Copies of this chain bind each other. A is one copy, B any other.
């Protein structure tokens, strides 16, 4: 592996130099359009050994779908240019809205809060397991142990310290809260998540740091109990919910970087999530 690795480093070095020549241009144009956008879905070039970045974070607004127990974020103007010389808002926000973390303490008394999770767990090999085709036909679909085995058959055993994310295709529904939460006439929710067996397999048979989903819950909407939450958080793993752009990232080979919440005793909180290649 050493010689090919060196070759690829040489190529990377060249492309980095090329990047460094170009970055000045984009830095000069710092004022960007103001319209709301979906998470950036194209990688960009990076300096210093990074190549591509993907933004796996949704823009959080009062229109962002939330788990029915929670209320949407409030974003309130508190200071104005005219009165104060600057513009500043206040947020009233439930920790578990938007693209956010579930820390172990969210379900497990005495377990780690988000501010106490060691930072090295926020830089992890990313494995994306797609169940998009199945979820398009069945909103109650869940990641199964078979799905994990199929991923491993193709890409090799899940790396130690991996972060495993479900791509159910739900990302495309982000603009429509009704379709995202997908409640039926009786109020039952229908969106994909992890099966209890898959959660148990990841917690016990593999050595992961956390799991991610592109829906509002690690557990499927129809789950009768929060078995995926209890199993994974109970094993000290963290979760990331409402991830964006997972369909754009290579299923294997990227590194996820999680800008985790750091308020005191956080049971979770809004995160900025990147994947880099």
Contact A86 B118 (CB under 8 A): no
Q: A27-52, CB under 8 A of B: which get 1 and which 0?
A: 11111111011001000111111100
User: A36's contact among B92, B257, B264, by CB below 8 Å, is which?
Assistant: B264
A95 touches B84 (CB 8 A): no
A134 to chain B, nearest CB (A): 28
Q: Is residue A10 within 8 Å, beta carbon to beta carbon, of the partner chain?
A: yes
The CA of A37 and the CA of B118, in the complex, are separated in Å by 12
- Taking each of A10, A95, A237, which has the highest tally of chain B beta carbons within 10 Å of its own beta carbon? A95
Pairwise interchain contact B125-A26, C-beta atoms closer than 8 A: no
Give the nearest-CB partner of A85 in chain B. B226
Check: A161 CB closer than 8 A to any chain B CB. Answer: yes
- Whether A269 contacts B91 in the complex (CB less than 8 A), given A26-B118, A36-B264, A121-B27, comes out as yes
Does A130 reach chain B (CB closer than 8 Å)? no
Residues of B within 8 A of A27 (CB): 121, 160-161, 207-209
Interchain Cβ contacts under 8 Å between A and B, 22 examples:
A5-B13, A23-B160, A27-B160, A27-B208, A28-B207, A29-B236, A30-B104, A32-B112, A34-B265, A47-B161, A55-B119, A57-B262, A58-B262, A60-B264, A70-B88, A86-B107, A87-B109, A91-B93, A92-B92, A119-B274, A261-B270, A262-B270
Q: How far is the CA of A22 from the CA of B118 in the complex (A)?
A: 15
Q: How far is the CA of A31 from the CA of B103 in the complex (A)?
A: 10
Q: Is the CB of A44 within 8 A of B119?
A: yes
Query: Shortest 9 CB-CB distances between A and B: which pairs?
Result: A259-B259, A30-B236, A259-B272, A61-B264, A9-B9, A44-B120, A60-B263, A23-B161, A48-B255
CB neighbours (8 Å) of A208 from chain B are 27
Collect the chain B residues with CB atoms within 8 Å of residue A5's CB. Answer: 9, 13
Q: A6-B6, A13-B2, A161-B24 are in contact. Are A263 and B48 (CB under 8 A)?
A: no
CB-based contact B109/A81 at 8 Å: yes
Other-chain residue from B78, B99, B105 in contact with A87 (beta carbon distance below 8 A):
B105
Beyond known contacts A31-B110, A37-B116, A59-B262: 13 more, CB 8 A cutoff: A5-B9, A6-B6, A27-B121, A28-B207, A44-B120, A47-B255, A48-B125, A60-B262, A69-B84, A91-B92, A93-B93, A259-B260, A272-B272
Q: Which residues on A are within 8 Å of B, measured CB to CB?
A: 2, 5-6, 9-10, 13, 20, 23-24, 26-34, 36-37, 40, 44-50, 53, 55, 57-61, 69-70, 73, 75, 78-79, 81, 84-96, 98-99, 104-107, 109-113, 115-125, 159-161, 207-209, 226, 229, 235-237, 255, 257-274, 276
Cβ A91 vs Cβ B88 within 8 A = no
